[in-house]
Structure 1
């Protein structure tokens, strides 16, 4: 098979798998088709909670699970930062230690994550692995836009695609 035919066959396979080709270091994909309601309540469970009145933050530690609608985020530690309204409005969540973000059958793992509530953006960093069905995508940074349900992976992106997969 010539190099041109091989390249064409690869493009057909990738497009058939629903992958959008991007420039060298980035890959865009859907993330669970989720359209998160950023006004939905954020529920957090953990083994312990420490509140710092001085800087207006709360730190949840030990088996932390954060839920908002269909999205689940799990980590060893989550720091909650509140907005200018004090503890009535969460501004962002900073998670670290074995972070897992899941929505439907999609899941992403990373070393840390930052979830900005108002913009509906979750940025996962450090050895990111995104699994969608049988397809696996990895890189150093994953940005998930919960408003549009899309995700971008950056930093030496590698992928394994299953023929006929999503």
Structure 2
């Protein structure tokens, strides 16, 4: 079941969303935040906003944000410092790092709520070997360490694809203090397509600790005319051992596995 590897490779691509909140999360970074605009850089004291207009470029270290307009909403603290609580990029938004780029019409980072949302008519994220698209939004929840692609999410990696209504990646702090992958999820109408197989089910998961993937709910695997059906398929990506199960993990439901195989086919 080589298609399961696409879950791991494809969903990790949503990590590009972390670049947008990084601008506000690290104001004391040793690397300066540089902002340039083709038209104007404005300071609106009455509305407590900084606004950059026209081919805006905001760069910090290896991360770059481009947009038609970039707005920073702030409030004054008791110490008379400026506390930025929301960043909004609008128009031809591109968030990029050396390995990945995200494209949308609008990106909003709510600093207080710890959530970044990218929306647009042609949402996509790209890396050298894969592309992720979604209809509704890309979201990054900072405190929960959760990245999601919502609405007709699709990952294309070479000749392989995975589609689902929702995809998510969850992270936790590793021993080195950096975010480490914990779990990947694809939910509702999951379809994984490779040159040799089509796998479908209600949802798919990947557990990084056990290096195990599951496809759950009305599972079907088609290889040419041959099909295999059950309620749950599991694969250990370390040992490359896979199994099809007839019932749910608790033993409920139809416990029989069904297969149709045609002689002379792979």
Question: Which TM class, normalised by the smaller chain length?
Answer: 0.5 to 0.7
Cα RMSD (Å) of the superposition? 3.1
CA distance in 2, matches of 1:69, 1:119: 26
Residue 107 (structure 1) aligned with residue 198 (structure 2): yes
- Summarize the Cα distance change of 1:35–1:126 in structure 2 as closer, same or farther, 3 Å threshold: closer
Q: 2:186 aligns with which of 86, 95, 117?
A: 95
Give the greater-gyration-radius structure (CA).
Answer: 2
Which ranges of structure 1 fall in alignment gaps of 5 or more residues? 1-30
- Summarize the Cα distance change of 1:144–1:69 in structure 2 as closer, same or farther, 3 Å threshold: farther
CA distance in 2, matches of 1:125, 1:59: 19
**Matched pairs, number:** 135
8 A contact 1:35–1:148 mirrored in 2: no
TM-score by length of 2: 0.43
8 A contact 1:35–1:147 mirrored in 2: no
Q: Which has the higher strand share?
A: 2
CA distance in 2, matches of 1:148, 1:165: 26
Task: Give 2:163's aligned residue.
Answer: 74
CA deviations 1:52-95 (Å, max 9, x no partner) are: 22211122111212356775321000121013248843322111
- Summarize the Cα distance change of 1:65–1:89 in structure 2 as closer, same or farther, 3 Å threshold: farther
TM-score by length of 1: 0.66
CA distance in 2, matches of 1:147, 1:132: 23
Moved over 6 A (4+): 33-36, 38-41
8 A contact 2:190–2:201 mirrored in 1: yes
Which ranges of structure 2 fall in alignment gaps of 5 or more residues? 14-131, 247-255
8 A contact 1:112–1:124 mirrored in 2: yes
- Summarize the Cα distance change of 1:98–1:39 in structure 2 as closer, same or farther, 3 Å threshold: closer
